[in-house]
Structure formats: C-alpha cells, structure tokens
Structure 1
Amino acid sequence: MDKLIEYPKLMKQILSEYLELCNRRPNRDIKTFLIVDEPKGHYIWMNLGWQKGDRIAGMTVYVRIRDSKFWIEEDWTEDGIAADLVRAGVPKEDIVLAFHEPKMRQYTDFAVAS
C-alpha cells in the first residue's frame, strides 16, 4: 500500500461516512462539515451552530497524517477513529493516539511516536 496516496483517501472516506450518518438526522441549527487540507495532511470534522441559546463550535475529530502515520489529535466518536482505521487494515504502529501525553502512549496498543 502506498501510504502517501491511500492514507489520505482512507481518512476522507471514514470521515465522510460519519458525516453522512450525521446528516441522516440533521439538526437545522447545527452544521456538521469536513475540513480537509490534504497537502498538509489535516482532516477535521467540525460542528458549528446554536443549541438552546448556546454556541456550538467544536471539533468532533481532528486527524493529521504526519510521517506516514495517522496522528489522532481529537476524537469524540463512540468507538474511536483508531478502531475504524484498524478495521480498514491500517497497522497499529501507523496510528498515534496523540491526545494521550507522549509518555503515556507506551501503555496503548498503538504507536508511541513523539
């Protein structure tokens, strides 16, 4: 697998599927969208809008592709984007749970990259 070609496609596919699920039951007041900066390897699932008078502005998922690895910076999905990547055939050593402090990553089943 050519990671430079396949990894960006895979990330867009996974996040697009999540957004499709969100849009099946749309909330008129909250927009859900995908922000992609493919040349720099940034993939963000964003929510923006209003709910009961409160501003909603936040990332559900933020993944970077860096050094031929997926760096999961933010992940508020139920099962985790890492699980989706593993199911798609990505080796665990190519997935960094970057939301964990670097010294704690050694206790996960995933890459320890710092």
Structure 2
Amino acid sequence: MDRSLTYPEILTQVLRKASDAQPRLQTIQIRAVCDTESGQFLIIATGWEKSVWLNTILFHARLFDGKVVIEDDNFEEGMTEALIKAGIAAEDIVTGLSQEQRQLTLHR
C-alpha cells in the first residue's frame, strides 16, 4: 500500500480497477467516473439489456471533511475492503449515515 497517494487518487485507482474487472455482459458497459475536483466517485453501468436501456449507479462515494462517504455500494462483496487495502484508513470510511449526519452534509 502506497501511503503517498491521496484519497482521490486511491478512489480513482480502486474504482477503475473494479470497473475493468467486471464481466462485460451483453452490451452493458461498466465505467468509473471520477471527479477529483468535486470529490465525487462513481461506477456506472449503461447499455441495452434486451430491449431496455440500463443506466445504473453501481457505486457512489464522495469526499467530505477528509472522509470517504459511501453513498451507494451495489457490489456483492462491497468496495470498502478494497479501499482499505489500497490505503484509505478504515476510520475515514463512512457508511450508513445517521439522520443527524445527513443533515450536516446537506449544507456543504
């Protein structure tokens, strides 16, 4: 684990690796979308599944007050362990925000 990397760099690397590792089913494309300026990091799936257009967020994390807030994680194994192994401190990963914490994040 490279401690010289910043959280945005780690998130970008882990999400790109995870999206590249996903099987390519039919014409669905899985892509990492990493915006270090806004602190938003996503993995999206788009494409045709039979006759239905699919546009789904598989994973969404954002940076907030030095923490990685996982908003949505639809991976079977979850992404938290991969983020920790890559160098994000476990105590800096926030999941399942309480109602009080959610209110605090609305104003920033």
Matched positions, count: 101
Two-structure CA RMSD over aligned residues (Å): 2.3
More helix by share: 1
Match of 1:80 among 73, 78, 81: 78
Identity %: 25
Q: Equivalent residue for 2:29?
A: 31
The 8 Å contact of residues 14 and 82 in structure 2, kept in 1 or not, is answered as yes
Output the TM-score relative to the length of structure 1: 0.75
- Offset of 1:92 from its aligned partner? 2.0
Output the TM-score relative to the length of structure 2: 0.79
Match of 2:98 among 98, 102, 106: 102
- d(CA) in 1 for partners of 2:86 and 2:31? 22
Q: Identify which range, 36-45 or 87-96, moves more after superposition.
A: 87-96
Runs of 4+ off more than 6 Å: none
- Offset of 1:89 from its aligned partner? 3.5
Query: Secondary structure of the equivalent of 1:40?
Result: coil
- Give 1:63's aligned amino acid: A
Deviation string, structure 1 residues 31-74 (Cα, Å, up to 9, x no partner): 21121211110011011111122221110000101111100001
Query: Secondary structure of the equivalent of 1:27?
Result: coil
Unmatched segments (≥5 aa) in structure 1 = 106-112
The 8 Å contact of residues 26 and 49 in structure 2, kept in 1 or not, is answered as no
Q: Equivalent residue for 2:64?
A: 66
